Homo-oligomer: A and B are copies of this chain.
Amino acid sequence: MSLKHAILVLLEQEPGSGYDLAQRFNQGIGNFWNASHQQIYQQLKKLTQESLVQFELEEQSGKPDRKVYEITETGLQALTEWMREEDNPPVVRDALLIKVFAGHLTDPQTLLAEIQRHRDLHAEKLAAHQALEARYNQQSKPKQKQQLLPYLTLRRGIRYEREWIEWLDEAQQMIQQS
């Protein structure tokens, strides 16, 4: 139920088209929420019907026209109400861990290769996050109020990826020794 609210949050921050939102989900925000453009367009349609957002057509020559969405009063209200609701941590469903758990069904090399592959992926994300973090740090030495909260979500992303890498290294070592 939260893609809806993720979109409202993004639009509250700054109006934009479906295309723009898709971009933003692929940057810093992708760290805690993700959505494909198909899903975004459908959701924007629904949100418009519910009057939680509205758009203005921005005509362009050559390219298709942009629909620039913004959050409405009603939308903002719905969003602040949602902020008071409780949400439980998402349940984990991770195929890699099934494979590790049942690793006796394959040879160690196959398992180790998949572990290495995941390590690379996590290292890549970590690097991207750290690049963003560097930008935060040079912008404002004493952390400003305004930026604190987004910064915290970035910190979470960094910790998350770092933790994965540490565990993957641990797992790799122990499997090799066995």
Q: Which residues of A contact B (CB under 8 A)?
A: 2, 5-6, 9, 12-13, 29, 31-34, 79-80, 83-84, 86-106, 110-111, 114, 117-118, 121-122, 143, 145-146, 148-150, 152-153, 155-156, 159-160, 163-164, 166-167, 170-171, 174-175, 178
Contacts and interface: CB of A to CB of B under 8 A. Distances in A.
One complex includes copies of this chain to the number of 2
Interface of chain A: mostly helix, strand, loop or mixed: helix
Contacts of A150: 101
B92 A153 contact: no
B110 A32 contact: no
A117 to B, nearest CB: 7
Contacts of A104: 146, 149
19 contacts: A9-B98, A9-B105, A33-B94, A83-B99, A84-B110, A88-B121, A89-B94, A89-B96, A89-B121, A90-B95, A100-B149, A102-B149, A143-B178, A148-B175, A148-B178, A152-B174, A155-B171, A159-B167, A163-B163
